[in-house]
């Protein structure tokens, strides 16, 4: 297959924001793609060459992309920068220069998907000395034989800014329509299978084979699975209505979600964003080997930080460093130790236990965990049908400094990736939203060169809509919390466009933002503005699909 087929598809997809139309465009393409016998090429639809959970990145900045354009099309960086300043999009810049080059050469070779996929995979794997030059050479090889449209989307791909909007739901719609048009029940089956596998190549391959191959997609320790999500309640009466009584009530620990997998001697740790954080938590790996019985399992846990001197639990902010930091791990293990609170199990002794009722899964947890204070324990729980007892447990949770409680439906299965009301959260109300940073502005004076105020956005379907500009909450020094330096380092590689003092960034960095109230406002694309917004925490554990939705804002306005 020629890469041009992909480029034309990207173009067609970018012409509509409608979910149905996008799916319709994808259906014939998927039917054609499967004939290639290379299901992994489906990753390219989202600008990747790896499954979604794999954090592998191209490591290409706008600066390097400019160099690639120069080398491939024989232009100077001044020409590229000048063009970029007028059109504002490096994709279109590459398209223009590719066009000019195309007019001046007589022969051109076709670019195959095999070649693109192969070179892009190599770009991701290259590390160490001279990495940039080798990446540049691999990309230049592709760009030299790229047509203008191909060049446009290749640049956007390597900058992780494809902008064609193929969200999970759209790809699932398209797979269902392409391979199971006569069976409407398959759309949900595909989604459940995807939430187990988190790998569209695997799902695509199974979809081509048929229904039973989809049914056979199973949990595998070592491959991340989406966590079951909670719905919110404002009272126990509401929570009891959602779950039915009796319910299990547990402490809501204030740390971060971790799925802990074990297969033989191997332990794997994943965040709720499906990021593999095993190497950041050698202490957790050790505790699991020592304190949990069983050769293979997947546990659902909340990992909480504590101060080793005072033995007081620390807020999420402190241990978020443990997720981010990839060096000095032993020092962090010592300075910021964590305790594992296990509250569920998905897989045990070579078998999925997703369909067992929650009480039965909890029995397994009780049986296999050997608790040790400050290392690992089973979450505190009561089972009750009495609101009074539940209230007392809630009060106790708040007294000991927990965030609130989780109320769980005792006979419910585990539904990966879903917010189905089997798990309900109840906590004192706080006005905050998780939002994603889509733009920023450079500071002045002693904060010159640092990005110090941030445009934050919520979601609406596939789109990100701005809700305000935040310039408070960050600290001058790293020891005091998230600093301007750290945030600048996170955002700079994501810059897509610079306009004077302002930058546009790829939506990736999720932050919790508190505010005083919400007002209607024409200043932002959402139509709303947060008043007195303040960043409280950077959420490296959360993905952009987990941020607040426009409907959440409308509800609070
Ligand atoms: P917030 O953004 O308000 O801090 P959140 O969005 O991370 O919270 P919520 O949806 O409010 O999470 O609550 C669900 C989360 O609570 C789970 O994802 C899990 O990380 C955490 N949690 C803590 N204790 C428990 C428990 N006993 N059972 C289930 N989840 C728990």
CATH number of the domain to which 471 belongs = 2.40.50.140
Residue 44 near ligand 1, beta carbon < 6 Å: no
Ligand 1 pocket test: pick from 252, 320, 393 the residue with the most ligand atoms within 8 Å of its Cβ: 252
pLDDT over threshold 90, residue 380: yes
Instruction: Look up residue 495 and give its two tokens.
Output: 């810059």
Active site residue 363: no
Residues 286 and 358 in one domain: yes
Distance 146 CA to ligand 1 centre (A): 47
Residues 309 and 382 in one domain: yes
Which residue puts its alpha carbon closest to atom 17 of ligand 1?
A: 257
Residues 291 and 371 in one domain: yes
What residues make up the domain containing 511?
432-556
Q: Which residues contact 391 (CB under 8 A, 6 or more apart)?
A: 236
CA–centroid distance for 429 within its chain: 26
Higher pLDDT, 24 or 84: 24
CB-CB neighbours of 469 under 10 Å: 17
52 belongs to a structural domain: no
- Which of 111-125, 134-148, 285-299, 395-409 shows the lowest mean pLDDT across its residues? 395-409
Q: Count Cα neighbours of 181 within 13 Å in the Cβ-side half-sphere.
A: 8
Q: Note the pLDDT of residue 429.
A: 67
Distance CA 117, CA 157 (A): 11
Domain boundary among 406, 426, 446: 426
511 belongs to a structural domain: yes
Residues 273 and 420 in one domain: yes
Residues 341 and 470 in one domain: no
Which residue puts its alpha carbon closest to atom 10 of ligand 1?
A: 230
Residue 343 near ligand 1, beta carbon < 6 Å: yes
Q: Which residues contact 103 (CB under 8 A, 6 or more apart)?
A: none
Residues 261 and 374 in one domain: yes
Atom of ligand 1 nearest to the CA of 427: 11
Domain boundary among 426, 460, 486: 426
CB-CB neighbours of 312 under 10 Å: 10
Distance 257 CA to ligand 1 centre (A): 7
Residues 451 and 532 in one domain: yes
Residues 410 and 444 in one domain: no
Mean pLDDT score across all residues of the chain: 92
pLDDT over threshold 90, residue 315: no
Which residue puts its alpha carbon closest to atom 14 of ligand 1?
A: 230
pLDDT band at 107 (very low <50, low <70, confident <90, very high): low
Distance CA 165, CA 430 (A): 32
Distance CA 542, CA 533 (A): 19
368 belongs to a structural domain: yes
User: 102 with 148: CB under 8 angstroms?
Assistant: yes
Distance 407 CA to ligand 1 centre (A): 11
396 belongs to a structural domain: yes
Catalytic residue among 22, 67, 152, 252: 252
pTM greater than 0.85 (yes/no)? no
pLDDT over threshold 70, residue 106: no
Distance 199 CA to ligand 1 centre (A): 25
Percentage of the chain exceeding pLDDT 90: 74
Residues 416 and 329 in one domain: yes
Which residue puts its alpha carbon closest to atom 5 of ligand 1?
A: 256
Distance CA 125, CA 58 (A): 8
Phi, psi of 481 (to 5 degrees): 140, -160
Domain boundary among 383, 409, 426: 426
Distance CA 147, CA 108 (A): 9
Distance CA 485, CA 475 (A): 9
- Which of 108-112, 128-132, 437-441 shows the lowest mean pLDDT across its residues? 108-112
Residue 425 near ligand 1, beta carbon < 6 Å: yes
Among 68, 90, 3, 37, smallest CA distance to 498 is for 90
Instruction: Please state the domain count of the chain.
Output: 2
Residue 285 carries which DSSP code?
A: H
| Alpha helices for 404-529 (secondary structure H) | 484-491
Distance 404 CA to ligand 1 centre (A): 9
**Mean pLDDT, residues 97-104:** 83
71 belongs to a structural domain: no
Give residue-wise pLDDT tens across range 228-284: 999 989 889 999 999 999 999 999 998 999 999 999 999 999 999 999 999 999 999
CA–centroid distance for 531 within its chain: 27
User: Any idea what the CATH number is for the domain that residue 270 is in?
Assistant: 3.30.470.30
Instruction: Look up residue 55 and give its two tokens.
Output: 């954090």
CB-CB neighbours of 362 under 10 Å: 23
375 belongs to a structural domain: yes
Q: Which residues contact 463 (CB under 8 A, 6 or more apart)?
A: 17
**Mean pLDDT, residues 86-113:** 84
Residues 413 and 515 in one domain: no
Residues 282 and 298 in one domain: yes
Distance 272 CA to ligand 1 centre (A): 10
Give 360-382 as a DSSP string: HHHHHHHHHB--BTTTEEEPPEE
In 443-544, at which residue ranges do the beta strands (DSSP E only) sit? 451-460, 463-470, 495-499, 502-505, 510-514, 517-520, 528-531, 534-538
Residue 257 near ligand 1, beta carbon < 6 Å: yes
Residue 302 near ligand 1, beta carbon < 6 Å: yes
174 belongs to a structural domain: no
Which residue puts its alpha carbon closest to atom 4 of ligand 1?
A: 254
342 belongs to a structural domain: yes
Q: Are strands 376-378 and 338-348 parallel, antiparallel or unpaired?
A: parallel
C-alpha angle with apex 159: 156 to 138, nearest 5 degrees?
90
User: 167 with 191: CB under 8 angstroms?
Assistant: no
Q: Which residues contact 399 (CB under 8 A, 6 or more apart)?
A: none
Atom of ligand 1 nearest to the CA of 257: 20
Which residue puts its alpha carbon closest to atom 12 of ligand 1?
A: 230
Residues 460 and 412 in one domain: no
């Amino acid at each position: 297959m020629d890469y041009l087929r992909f480029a034309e598809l990207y173009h067609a997809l970018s012409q509509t924001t409608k979910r149905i139309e996008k799916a319709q465009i994808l259906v014939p393409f998927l039917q054609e793609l499967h004939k290639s016998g290379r299901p992994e090429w489906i990753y390219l639809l989202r600008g990747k060459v790896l499954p979604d959970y794999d954090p592998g990145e191209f490591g290409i900045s706008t600066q390097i992309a400019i160099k690639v354009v120069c080398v491939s099309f024989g232009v100077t960086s001044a020409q590229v920068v000048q063009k970029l300043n007028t059109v504002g999009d490096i994709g279109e810049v590459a398209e223009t220069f590719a066009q000019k080059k195309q007019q001046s050469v007589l022969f051109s070779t076709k670019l195959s998907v095999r070649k693109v996929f192969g070179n892009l995979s190599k770009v991701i794997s290259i590390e160490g000395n001279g990495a940039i030059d080798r990446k540049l050479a691999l990309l230049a090889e592709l760009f030299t034989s790229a047509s203008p449209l191909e060049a446009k989307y290749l640049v956007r791909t390597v900058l992780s800014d494809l902008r064609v909007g193929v969200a999970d739901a759209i790809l699932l719609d398209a797979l269902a329509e392409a391979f199971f048009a006569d069976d409407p029940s398959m759309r949900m089956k595909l989604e459940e299978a995807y939430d187990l596998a988190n790998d569209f190549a695997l799902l695509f391959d199974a979809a081509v084979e048929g229904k039973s191959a989809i049914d056979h997609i199973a949990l595998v320790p070592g491959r991340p699975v989406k966590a079951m999500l909670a719905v919110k309640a404002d009272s126990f009466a509401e929570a009891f209505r959602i779950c039915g009584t009796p319910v299990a009530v547990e402490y809501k620990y204030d740390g971060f979600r971790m799925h802990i997998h074990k297969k033989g001697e191997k332990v794997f740790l994943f965040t709720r964003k499906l990021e593999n954080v095993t190497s950041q938590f050698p202490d957790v790996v050790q505790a699991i080997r020592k304190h949990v019985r069983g050769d293979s399992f997947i546990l659902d846990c909340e990992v909480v930080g504590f101060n080793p001197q005072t033995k007081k639990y620390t807020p999420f902010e402190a241990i978020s460093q443990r997720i981010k930091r990839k060096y000095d791990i032993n020092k962090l293990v010592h300075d910021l130790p964590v305790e594992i609170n296990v509250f569920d199990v998905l897989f045990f002794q070579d078998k999925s236990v997703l369909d067992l009722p929650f009480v039965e899964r909890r029995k397994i947890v009780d049986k296999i965990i050997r608790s040790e204070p400050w290392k690992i324990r089973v979450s505190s729980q009561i089972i009750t049908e009495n609101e009074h007892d539940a209230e007392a447990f809630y009060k106790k949770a708040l007294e000991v400094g927990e965030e609130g409680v989780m109320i769980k439906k005792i006979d419910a299965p585990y539904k990966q990736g879903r917010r189905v009301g089997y798990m309900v959260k109840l906590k004192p109300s706080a006005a905050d939203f998780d939002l994603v940073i889509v733009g920023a502005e450079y500071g002045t004076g002693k904060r010159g060169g640092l990005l110090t105020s941030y445009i934050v956005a919520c979601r609406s379907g596939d789109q990100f809509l701005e809700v305000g500009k935040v310039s408070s909450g960050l600290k001058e020094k790293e020891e005091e919390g998230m600093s301007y330096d750290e945030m600048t380092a996170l955002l700079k590689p994501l810059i897509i466009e610079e306009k004077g003092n302002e930058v546009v960034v790829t939506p990736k960095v999720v932050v919790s933002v508190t505010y005083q109230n919400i007002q209607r406002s024409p200043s932002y694309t959402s139509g709303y503005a947060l008043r007195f917004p303040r960043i409280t925490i950077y959420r490296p554990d959360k993905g952009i699909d987990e941020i607040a939705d426009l409907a959440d804002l409308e509800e609070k306005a």
